[in-house]
Amino acid sequence: MADVNLKAQRYGKRKVRLVKVVRHANGRQELAELTATVLLAGDFEASYTEADNKKVVATDSIKNTVYVLAKKSTQVVPIEQFALTIAEHFLRTYDHVAQVWVELEQRPWDRMVINNQAHPHSFTQNKGWRRTTQLVATRKAGSEGTSAPWSVVIESGFHDLCVLKTTGSAFSGFVRDQYTTLSETNDRILCTNVQNSWKLASTDPRVLRMTDFDHLFDTSMAHTTRIFADDNSVSVQATLYRIATATLRDCPAIAEASLALPNIHIFGVDLAPFGLANTGADLDVYKPVSDPSGLISATVQRAKARL
Ligand SMILES: O=c1[nH]c(=O)c2[nH]c(=O)[nH]c2[nH]1
């Protein structure tokens, strides 16, 4: 037998799909569609090393638990609150669970407007982006008295927000050497598929329970779209930094913001062989390039206070 040891382990159920409907007395109904992944870590070593399942909570039971908690919860949004509910359930119920990892993704359904009236129970899917949260709750050793029995790291965000602007974007002044063929441009199409996430400053579940997660989402989404649209972009890098900085400025509850912006290239078509002007002020026919794309990513954190 090789001399080895189990370095790390976690297990659970991924992609548990769930729809929760909330019915109000006045006939208005709410809808939330989520996909959940829940993984447990803790005293499960024997299931790997000794083939002993005594302490294993079946992944099927983990899936069932998500549905039971959805049933018992008035609502499953904001997703951060439901993620806390799931994590705390497993930490409370099983002493041998040391850490719970929850990822929730919400698919946005918009209420239909029929004859200028918000419809009470009909919805439409017209957004490509998804709202997400990743939560890691870790049991604290020997925490008594006033401190919470576990710490919780939450990183929320959204992904797949497709945005494009037809002007207001430039790129010049970059390295020119024997590998360079790209021309400098003071006017190009900018197209990206935004992935934006923000890490909460607090790890105290009691503080997190009081946090207005929808406000953080709304603020981050608003800055992302407004700055993308209004910024006279000199590069994806500089625009990304402005989005992250504005979000941190307006959301004290956030410790850091991370963005990943593919630079989806849409280049002008060379129509000179046909005697047609399609450059500079005449440029209006482009070809989107499927691959490759640039990929610009960064994490911006709040500067530590100087003591
Ligand atoms: O905004 C940009 N940043 C880059 O780093 C880069 N590189 C490139 O080819 N085009 C662009 N655009």
DSSP track, 241-258? HHHHHHHHHH-TTEEEEE
- pLDDT for the residue 141: 85
The predicted model gives 222-248 an average pLDDT of 98
Share of the chain above pLDDT 70, in %: 98
29 CB burial (10 A radius; 0-12, 13-18, 19+): middle
184, 190, 233, 235, best to mutate for ligand 1 pocket (most atoms within 8 Å of CB): 235
Share of the chain above pLDDT 90, in %: 94
Alpha helix positions (H), the chain: 45-49, 59-72, 79-93, 205-209, 213-230, 236-250
The predicted model gives 287-305 an average pLDDT of 94
Mean pLDDT estimate for the chain:
96
Residue 306 has pLDDT above 90, yes or no: no
The answer to whether the beta carbons of residues 284 and 268 sit under 8 Å apart is no
Kindly indicate whether the ipTM for this predicted assembly is greater than 0.90, answering yes or no. Answer: yes
Q: Is 239 a pocket residue for ligand 1 (Cβ < 6 Å)?
A: no
Tokens 């490509």 belong to which residue?
A: 128
In the reported structure, the alpha carbon of residue 198 is separated from the centroid of ligand 1 by a whole-number distance in angstroms of: 24
Q: How far is the C-alpha of 301 from the C-alpha of 307, rounded, in Å?
A: 18
Binding residues for O2: 263
In the reported structure, the alpha carbon of residue 182 is separated from the centroid of ligand 1 by a whole-number distance in angstroms of: 9
Residue 198 has pLDDT above 80, yes or no: yes
The predicted model gives 26-52 an average pLDDT of 98
141 CB burial (10 A radius; 0-12, 13-18, 19+): exposed
Give the ligand 1 atom nearest the CA of 169. Answer: 1
Q: Is 262 a pocket residue for ligand 1 (Cβ < 6 Å)?
A: no
Name the residues annotated as catalytic: 13, 59, 265
Residue 147 has pLDDT above 90, yes or no: no
Atom 7 (ligand 1) nearest CA = 294
Q: Is 238 a pocket residue for ligand 1 (Cβ < 6 Å)?
A: no
Q: Is 236 a pocket residue for ligand 1 (Cβ < 6 Å)?
A: yes
Residue 307 has pLDDT above 70, yes or no: no
The predicted model gives 279-286 an average pLDDT of 96
